[in-house]
Amino acid sequence: MEQAKRPETMERITTAELAKAFIDEQVGELRKQIGDKKVLLALSGGVDSSVVAALLIKAVGQQLVCVHVNHGLLRKGEPEQVIKVFRDEMKANLIYVDATERFLGKLAGVSDPETKRKIIGGEFIEVFAEEAKKLEGIEFLAQGTIYPDILESEQGIKAHHNVGGLPPELNFELVEPVKLLYKDEVRVVGKELGLPDNMVYRQPFPGPGLGVRCPGAITRDRLEAVRESDAILREEFAKNGLEGKVWQYFTVVPDFKSTGIRDGKRTFDWPVIIRAVNTKDAITATVENVPYELMQHITDRIVHEVKGVNRVLYDFTPKPTATIEYE
């Protein structure tokens, strides 16, 4: 594929006025490209695919078919938010696929990080392809490719950033309306399109989801401990002014237990590790200095509200030597 190049004369999208001009231009281009045909989009709920969905809804309405696959590794409330924003509020043609049992069944007993990633990625492609084959009249595949993806790939587009590996018989033509934008520009466009802040400014979230924050073989109870503790952390950061200030924050529940005490009795439960970092390029990262009193409060909530947890740890390690994610 020939590498797309951002025109040197293209102005940085930093204001609502520039975003509106970009949206108007793209709506015209999308209508010209798609015509009266149908276009398919894998809608994860992340900012890139969400902005593409909102652009296409504005341009071609019900000609867009969105497929949201819940692999059971999403954060608390995310599938519900996608349905609320796109199906209920924007009246999108949205297909919701709950493939939780399918994914967790495939992942049962698998502890190697790379093997887990391959299972999650491969299974996602299979589920999406199955849904695509059920549909008629689809000629276009929309993707949330952005300019850094192109810059960082020798072949033009990072394989892990799009729905690569679809069966060749589907033979879709690509639609990539934000491929010349940087992430901060995509966010400005998303705001102008009316997407909610917690979707526009969503933290980076890995494709394998909570699967990489549940090191070792994923179990349902440990996965729920990650999901619930992460929800508490995000809620408290939002309440205390850290949402938007800290680049990425999440919890991890490793596959080992330690002794503790609850209601005067000995327990043998998991720890929750909190990770909160700041970075400009994700190549290096520093650890956020979270106020001690807030950490005490978050710890108290997690150990009392999350089942199977008896201690909370804070990861002070910068990148390098540690990576941001655990797997």
CATH code for the domain of 289: 3.30.300.10
Residue 189 domain-assigned (yes or no): yes
Q: Is the same domain home to 145 and 258?
A: no
| Per-residue three-class SS string for 264-312 | CEEEEEEEEEEEEEECCCCCCEEECCCCHHHHHHHHHHHHHHCCCEEEE
Q: Is the same domain home to 153 and 54?
A: yes
- Here the tokens at position 50 are 């969400």
Task: Characterize 19-32 residue by residue with b for buried, 16 or more Cβ atoms within 10 angstroms of its Cβ, and e for exposed.
Answer: beebbeebbeebee
Residue ranges in the chain assigned as alpha helix (H): 16-34, 47-60, 78-82, 100-107, 113-134, 147-151, 183-192, 197-200, 220-239, 292-305
State how many domains the chain has: 2
Task: Characterize 52-71 residue by residue with b for buried, 16 or more Cβ atoms within 10 angstroms of its Cβ, and e for exposed.
Answer: bbbbbbbbbeebbbbbbbbb
Query: Would the annotation count 49 as a binding residue?
Result: yes
On average, the pLDDT of the chain sits at 92
Q: Is the same domain home to 165 and 239?
A: no
In the structure, what pLDDT confidence band is assigned to residue 162 with cuts at 50, 70 and 90?
A: low
Q: What is the pLDDT of residue 159?
A: 45
The answer to whether residue 319 scores a pLDDT higher than 70 is: yes
Looking up tokens 């975003």 gives 19
CA distance 247 to 205: 11
Q: Are 295 and 272 in contact (CB under 8 A)?
A: no
Q: Is the same domain home to 197 and 236?
A: no
The answer to whether residue 310 scores a pLDDT higher than 80 is: yes
Digit-coded pLDDT (tens) for 238-270: 999 999 899 999 999 999 999 999 999 999 999
Query: Would the annotation count 111 as a binding residue?
Result: no
Last residue of a domain, one of 201, 231, 249: 201
Residue 154 domain-assigned (yes or no): yes
Q: Are 90 and 62 in contact (CB under 8 A)?
A: no
Q: What is the pTM of this model?
A: 0.87
| Structural domain boundaries, residue 33 | 16-201
- Region 282-311: what's the mean pLDDT? 96
For 171, other C-beta atoms within 10 Å of its C-beta total: 10
Of 77-91, 144-158, 206-220, which range is least confident? Answer: 144-158
In the structure, what pLDDT confidence band is assigned to residue 6 with cuts at 50, 70 and 90?
A: confident
Per DSSP, what are the bridge partners of residue 69? 97
Closest CA to 143 of 160, 124, 168: 160
Cα–Cα distances (Å) from 141 to 22, 129, 204, 230, 286, in that order, read: 21, 11, 23, 33, 38
CA distance 286 to 283: 11
DSSP 89: I
Q: Is the same domain home to 197 and 223?
A: no
Own/partner pairs, 217-221, CB within 8 angstroms, 24+ separation: 217/107, 217/108, 217/109, 217/110, 217/111, 217/255, 218/104, 218/107, 218/108, 218/110, 218/116, 220/104, 221/307, 221/308
Query: Would the annotation count 47 as a binding residue?
Result: yes
Give the rounded percent of residues in the chain with a pLDDT score beyond 70. 94
For 78, other C-beta atoms within 10 Å of its C-beta total: 20
Residue 8 domain-assigned (yes or no): no
The answer to whether residue 156 scores a pLDDT higher than 60 is: no
Query: Would the annotation count 50 as a binding residue?
Result: yes
Q: What is the pLDDT of residue 89?
A: 96
CA distance 300 to 264: 17
Digit-coded pLDDT (tens) for 173-226: 999 999 999 989 999 999 999 999 989 988 888 889 999 999 999 999 999 999
Query: Would the annotation count 48 as a binding residue?
Result: yes
CATH number of the domain where residue 46 is located: 3.40.50.620
